[in-house]
Amino acid sequence: MIKQTFAKIIIALFFIMLIIIVPLNLDKFKQRLGLKQENNKVEYSLNEDSIIKSEDAEKIIEDKAAEVIQAISSRNFKELAKYVHPEKGVRFTPYTHVDPKKDIVFTKEQVRNFFENENEYLWGHYDGSGKKIRLTPEEYYHEFIYSEDFINAEKIGYNKVLSSGNMQENQFEVYNNPIIVEYYISGSNPDYKGMDWKSLRLVFEEYQNEWKLTGIIHNQWTI
């Protein structure tokens, strides 16, 4: 009888220790990550411009952005479609300034079949000449998405603008509290004195506690 009572006490103490120790260890784990979580949602703070701080943005999106740029670089748009916002789709912007009324938007399904689509679309107008950018999705990919080897970009910015031409920067106004990842490659032709730089920006917005791709912005020097 005494042995049974003692055994019950030991078991009770064991469960009490689990209740106390496990939450403490989880808190320490979160502290090591430098993140606070509530209902699986990573908390973040905003800077003076009401934009998610760069260091918080990097912690939240670094891994997902790496997967997205990998899918883009390998032309695996069936994989890319998994990251696209299910309601908003993804908006394609050929030059820095985002035009919500004119920029082409593709749904998840259209992204999935991106390279099979042989239709021509009016994506905008060429800087300088003003001529229409009328291209198939594959042609647009080469000219205004993966125009450089962005997966090996020398600089990556998280909610930090690394490049700008003469066009107005408005991505943080158009998109709703976004995280924007910029892959920047500097100019290499001495004849252009560094003005042949290019960058690619991936725009993510929050949807049901997940970050979904809602924009792909190509950027280069504009007149």
- Asked whether residue 51 is domain-assigned, the answer is yes
The count of domains in the chain is 2
What is the residue-level pLDDT of the chain in tens, covering all 223 positions? Answer: 555 554 555 555 555 555 544 444 544 444 444 444 434 567 899 999 999 999 999 999 999 999 999 999 999 999 999 999 999 999 999 999 999 999 999 999 999 999 999 999 999 999 989 999 999 999 999 999 999 999 999 999 999 998 766 678 899 999 999 999 999 998 666 666 557 799 999 999 999 999 999 999 999 876 6
Phi-psi region of 152 (alpha: psi -120 to 50; beta: other; left: phi over 0): alpha
**pLDDT of amino acid 28:** 45
- Asked whether residue 61 is domain-assigned, the answer is yes
What SS3 state is found at 40?
coil
**Number of C-beta neighbours around residue 50 at 10 A:** 8
- Asked whether residue 150 is domain-assigned, the answer is yes
Residues 126 and 18 in one domain: no
**pLDDT of amino acid 10:** 56
Residues 62 and 153 in one domain: yes
- Asked whether residue 140 is domain-assigned, the answer is yes
Residues 21 and 110 in one domain: no
Residues 70 and 9 in one domain: no
Residues 99 and 29 in one domain: no
Q: Which domain holds residue 93?
A: 45-220
Beta strands 198-207 and 179-185 are antiparallel
**pLDDT of amino acid 34:** 43
Residues 10 and 95 in one domain: no
Residues 23 and 131 in one domain: no
Q: What is the CATH number of the domain that holds 107?
A: 3.10.450
Distance from C-alpha of 112 to C-alpha of 80, rounded to nearest angstrom:
7
Residues 171 and 150 in one domain: yes
Residues 82 and 176 in one domain: yes
DSSP 92: E
**pLDDT of amino acid 100:** 97
Residues 109 and 49 in one domain: yes
Beta-carbon contacts of residue 186 (< 8 Å; ≥ 6 apart): 154, 194, 197
Residues 15 and 66 in one domain: no
- Asked whether residue 39 is domain-assigned, the answer is no
Total-model pTM: 0.80
- Asked whether residue 40 is domain-assigned, the answer is no
Beta-carbon contacts of residue 99 (< 8 Å; ≥ 6 apart): 93, 124
**pLDDT of amino acid 5:** 54
Burial 100-118 (b: 16+ CB within 10 A, else e): eeebbebbbebbbebeeee
- Asked whether residue 83 is domain-assigned, the answer is yes
- Asked whether residue 78 is domain-assigned, the answer is yes
